[in-house]
Structure 1
Amino acid sequence: MTTDGSQNNELEDFEAYLEPDFEAANFANSLLISTNGHDNNLLDLQTPVKKLKYDLVELDKRMKLISSTNYESLTSNFTQIEQYKTILQDRINPQLVTINKPFDKIKREVIEPYEDATRLNNALKNIHQTLELLRTSSFFIFIIQQLEELQVGGGGGDGSTSSPSGDVVRTSRLYSQLMNLYQSVTTPSGGIKSDLSGNNNSNVMSIRFIRDYRATAITRKQSLLHEFSRVVNHETSRATSLNLKNLKLYHHLQALYILDPHEFCQIFDKSTIQRSLTTSSNQLSKALQSPRNFTAIMTEVQQSNTIYFNKLDEVLAKWNLPHDNSNKADQSYLSFILSHYGTDSLHLLFWQKLAQQLKRNIVATMARGGPIAKNLKVYSQGLKTSIEDKFTNVKIKQDILDAFSMIEYK
């Protein structure tokens, strides 16, 4: 049986966990500050975790001691408390003083140890909450530390691509993982998710360092997207840059896809198809002003874009997407992009869009009338014959001839 002194000392050293207003987040913050100080640039998580683990072991020992020391009282006497109360109140009033003595003994040896054990159990739960909070925080801190190291070392964490191009892939993976962690503990509106299971993952946002870094991560992610877009746009601007040895393009395509697959498709479209479409459409639009030169300019457009899209297809077919949970194993960029557009060929898609633009330009030219419209009517049959001879793909040929049919229609 425990003595009075030992009973009073059961909770010694654990008062902090038993405060009525105890909060795991505040306690974790104070524990980290007391261990690391305010000016320490390196965060030490091991020391506070060791302290909490020590407290867990000590509490477990004390609970076992209480249970083993008071085993008989806990099993045999506790069930008799209510019965003793009834006897005290209804039958033994004349002997109340005598009866109070064993009751006090029961209270001292059974009830009070039980209450102490309950309080110790509550303290144990609070320690577990703090450990879970620190564990979740360590995931955030580990990724953030790596990102900061990459930034200091010129690894592209600030949008710079002066480092080895392979670092941009690593940087993108880290930012993607970090944003997924933030998403897992916050609602779409930015609030903290409620967790009915009692898990304290969401409380990690109560740690100021992690909460404040979210805005920094979002800003840097947008900076990276802008930089990746600039590099991809530059590296795909010339057919000569489209080769398997262009690792700068390869790594930036990987990094862009990892960081944001949706932005990847938009940037790719703007850097390749839309740019080629704008250039070629401008050439053909000017050629409409002088139908005599239209065939030569169409030939130039056809040859340059055939070379460009053949080289683009070659590298995209040989390069595979980075592995993740959303794409199939060893899926090529070409397969992914064609699936995105819902087409069998980028070259075919380009000519389909170019024919539509050419059709709109012809309609506008004929609507304005004048000498240019008259010249187009004069040369229309010759232009159609030239198209028949130059294009072997039936679909492309038909789309362009359909555009020229607007000359006769007007």
Structure 2
Amino acid sequence: MADDEPSYIDYEAFLDPTFSTTSFANSLVLATNNASDTPLDLSTPLSRVLFDVQEIDTHIDSLTTKSAVPILEYTKDHAESSGRILSEVEAQVASLTEGYKTLEKEVIERHEAAEQVRLAAERLCQTVKLGRAVSRCIMLGRQLEVQMGEMGGAGSAKREDHRAMVRSSNTVVSLRQILDASGPGEEGEGLDRVDVIATLNRELLGPAERSIVSRAQQIIREFSMSSLLANGGASSQQIGAAATYAQVEETKSRTISALLSLYLLSPVPQEATLATFEPGLLVNALQDYLQTGLKSSLAALARALATLPTLERTLLEISARCQNIVALETLLETVKPPSHPLVGKAGDENFLQPLLHSLDTSSLPSYFWRSLASSLSPRVREIVNRGGVSARTLRSNRDRVREAIRECVNRGSQLPTSSLRSTSGRSAVGNWEREAAVMVSSIVGVLR
């Protein structure tokens, strides 16, 4: 509407975005009626609305009549502009369509073909990688079979080759290393889904590992270097080289092979380092050896104290067990851990250090005597409390028992004469007065 044509109609109210027809009609009815009238007169507001509509219609007609030519010209200009724009856009669309067809033919179709080739090549590469891993596992499995046959020994007609235990252990670790590397991109990825590998793991690798561990533990349990009992109960003055040099060296060699095998086959936690790795199988086997010696010695000594005529023979046996422990300690000092595929090469450590750390001691003979003494006092107290001939005999011979115990500790704490002196450089005699005093106190101290 032109500014120079006044109108009583409030166009601003109608053009307001918040305009409400309901509110407008309500205000119009209230303006022409009294709210308390019944019924309401709607003819007046209706006439008002119709008059306003007619006025607006007349005004629109007037405006369109006056502005017909400009409106037509404006519409014509817009139509012509739209036509020109449409023709330009159609040309551009046609060009883009042609370009897309060329792109689709030269790039997209070729890319789809190349993607198929890439996918085929990738899967072929994975197959080759898996095939190589399977081939390596089969080769190691065959190697393990041969090495297990070379071990010989119990149940086999072949002579035992204890060094084959170490070779077999290395092969087992290599196989385990491949099978455990099953993460994305690792060598063993997907091997768990190959039937022949599952069979290899179930029928060869597992049984072979258990067999090696069992054989190595048995060798540790049978370790003996002392010659105190070699001649049917020789006295301490008759300690001699009952075992030949070859036998001693064979015992050492078998034991070292067992130690190395247990070290290699000890479970390795994920992300373990050389500093955090603990050879559990090795330490447990050595602890079992010590505990077996302690239990046997404790039971035998308790019986001997109740029947003193057997004491000398029993103490000789205990001395022999401790000499074996001294020999084992000396041997452990000379054996360094081998390079482990999963944790690397150890530095200056030896096999004795983890054992001493696990027992919280600085010496295996000291641990033996102190542990034996701590368990012996209750047994002696039982004998005394029972009374009778055994208790009276033990009390009356306590000086003899004291000297026999001291001699047992000093004798047992020596390195076996015929065993390792040639290679250890360790003195055969040491100062064990504290251990002897502890042992004597555990017996004589109860008799006071």
TM tier relative to shorter chain? 0.5 to 0.7
Match of 2:364 in 1: 346
Q: What does the per-residue CA deviation read over 1:78-113, in whole Å, with 9 as the maximum and x for residues that have no partner?
A: xxxxxxxxx9999549x98x9977764543334322
Cα displacement (A) at 1:303 = 4.4
Per the alignment, do residues 386 and 230 of structure 1 end up closer, same or farther by CA in structure 2, a change over 3 Å counting?
Answer: closer
% same residue: 20
Deviates further, 285-294 or 98-107: 98-107
Match of 2:255 in 1: 249
1:131 aligns with 2:118: no
Q: Quick one: distance in 2 between partners of 1:109 and 1:395?
A: 93
Cα displacement (A) at 1:159 = 8.9
Cα displacement (A) at 1:408 = 4.5
Of 308, 316, 338, the residue aligned with 2:332 is 316
Q: Quick one: distance in 1 between partners of 2:89 and 2:146?
A: 78
So what's the TM-score if we normalise by structure 2?
Answer: 0.57
Q: Quick one: distance in 2 between partners of 1:405 and 1:90?
A: 119
Q: Quick one: distance in 2 between partners of 1:286 and 1:202?
A: 60
Of 349, 372, 376, the residue aligned with 2:390 is 372
Per the alignment, do residues 88 and 172 of structure 1 end up closer, same or farther by CA in structure 2, a change over 3 Å counting?
Answer: farther
Cα displacement (A) at 1:311 = 3.1
Q: What does the per-residue CA deviation read over 1:214-250, in whole Å, with 9 as the maximum and x for residues that have no partner?
A: 1221122112211222233334375548834532333
Which residues in structure 2 correspond to 1:22-171 (within 5 Å)?
A: 91-92=89-90, 104-151=101-148, 153-155=149-151, 162-171=159-168
Match of 1:4 in 2: none
Per the alignment, do residues 233 and 408 of structure 1 end up closer, same or farther by CA in structure 2, a change over 3 Å counting?
Answer: closer
Q: Quick one: distance in 2 between partners of 1:288 and 1:255?
A: 40
Per the alignment, do residues 90 and 368 of structure 1 end up closer, same or farther by CA in structure 2, a change over 3 Å counting?
Answer: farther
Per the alignment, do residues 103 and 351 of structure 1 end up closer, same or farther by CA in structure 2, a change over 3 Å counting?
Answer: closer
Cα displacement (A) at 1:350 = 1.1
Q: Quick one: distance in 1 between partners of 2:171 and 2:114?
A: 45
Q: Quick one: distance in 1 between partners of 2:154 and 2:320?
A: 37
Q: Quick one: distance in 2 between partners of 1:318 and 1:116?
A: 66
Of 171, 175, 196, the residue aligned with 1:174 is 171
Per the alignment, do residues 311 and 129 of structure 1 end up closer, same or farther by CA in structure 2, a change over 3 Å counting?
Answer: closer
Per the alignment, do residues 147 and 304 of structure 1 end up closer, same or farther by CA in structure 2, a change over 3 Å counting?
Answer: closer
What letter matches 2:209 in structure 1? K
Cα displacement (A) at 1:278 = 3.5
So what's the TM-score if we normalise by structure 1?
Answer: 0.62
Q: Quick one: distance in 2 between partners of 1:125 and 1:88?
A: 49
Q: Quick one: distance in 2 between partners of 1:303 and 1:89?
A: 113
Contact 1:168 1:252 (C-alpha < 8 Å) held by counterparts: yes
Contact 2:192 2:198 (C-alpha < 8 Å) held by counterparts: yes
Deviates further, 99-108 or 356-365: 99-108
Q: Quick one: distance in 2 between partners of 1:176 and 1:302?
A: 38
Q: Quick one: distance in 2 between partners of 1:302 and 1:157?
A: 30
- Tell me, what secondary structure is at the counterpart of 1:148? helix
Larger Rg: 2
Match of 2:293 in 1: 276
Contact 2:226 2:320 (C-alpha < 8 Å) held by counterparts: no
Q: Gapped runs of 5+ residues in structure 2?
A: 1-84, 228-242, 267-278, 411-430
Q: Which structure has greater helix proportion?
A: 1
Give the aligned length: 309
Q: Quick one: distance in 1 between partners of 2:208 and 2:280?
A: 18
Per the alignment, do residues 268 and 236 of structure 1 end up closer, same or farther by CA in structure 2, a change over 3 Å counting?
Answer: farther
Q: Quick one: distance in 2 between partners of 1:335 and 1:107?
A: 72
